[in-house]
Amino acid sequence: MNFCSQCGGAVSLTTPPDDNLPRHVCTACGTIHYLNPKLVVGCIVEWEGRILLCRRSIEPRYGLWTLPAGFMENGETAREAAQRETLEEARAHVEIDDAFALISVPHVNQVHLFYRARLLEASFSPGLETLETALFAEEAIPWREIAFQTVTLCLRAFFSDRAAREFHFHEAALPPVSGRI
């Protein structure tokens, strides 16, 4: 960050009084600019025992499979973001169930939140950021082609809970792993 969004003045990286981290502080008006993690929200969408996956048409991880998910926008709830992202990436209408997994990814300043969801009808197709959409039975999940470690963790927890016939909320944090989130 080079300039203040309040007044356009130059900012400097300094630790404000009564703070413990360096922040971008405007040298003209004194506004402190906090940079915080981004929230990625998505769904584990189920239809007749199978899971909806999307093959990415964008970087990072072009061509690999993921759950429908993306960055939450200002002015929407986490549930609304999960529903919107599922519609944008898979053109799928879903009913959102409970929050299922929260995974902190501090090395890329993100938090990933996944909800369990059900397709309202067997109608879905690739959105603008998706090459292909498909429903996968557990035994057919392309594990070696999953784009993100957070998705792998989420799916493994989902299938474990489903086998136990009892869903729980899962929370985890990922350490840095050579370019994977």
pLDDT of residue 178: 59
Structural domain containing residue 24? 1-35
pTM of the shown model: 0.90
Q: Which has the closest alpha carbon to 85: 66, 59, 63, 111?
A: 66
CB atoms within 10 A of CB 130: 21
55 in the same domain as 9: no
**How far apart, in whole angstroms, are the C-alpha atoms of residue 158 and residue 100?**
8
User: Does residue 178 belong to any structural domain of this protein?
Assistant: no
Decide: 48 and 120 in contact? Cβ < 8 Å.
no
pLDDT of residue 141: 98
pLDDT 10s digits, 126-166: 999 999 999 999 999 999 999 999 999 999 999 999 999 99
117 in the same domain as 43: yes
142 in the same domain as 54: yes
* Token digits of residue 12: 């400097």
93 in the same domain as 56: yes
Decide: 133 and 86 in contact? Cβ < 8 Å.
no
19 in the same domain as 64: no
pLDDT of residue 179: 54
Q: Which has the closest alpha carbon to 148: 63, 43, 64, 24?
A: 64
163 in the same domain as 119: yes
Q: In the chain, what percentage of residues exceed pLDDT 70?
A: 98
**Domain count within the chain:** 2
The enclosing domain of 15 has a CATH number of 2.20.70.10
**How far apart, in whole angstroms, are the C-alpha atoms of residue 92 and residue 89?**
8
pLDDT 10s digits, 41-69: 999 999 999 999 999 999 999 999 999 99
30 in the same domain as 118: no
The enclosing domain of 76 has a CATH number of 3.90.79.10
pLDDT bin (cut points 50, 70, 90) of residue 181 is: low
Helix (H) or strand (E) holding 133: strand 130-136
Give the mean pLDDT of the chain. Answer: 96
User: Does residue 156 belong to any structural domain of this protein?
Assistant: yes
177 DSSP assignment: B
User: Does residue 125 belong to any structural domain of this protein?
Assistant: yes
Decide if pLDDT at 6 tops 60.
yes
- Tally of CA atoms within 13 A in the half-sphere of 154 that contains its CB: 29
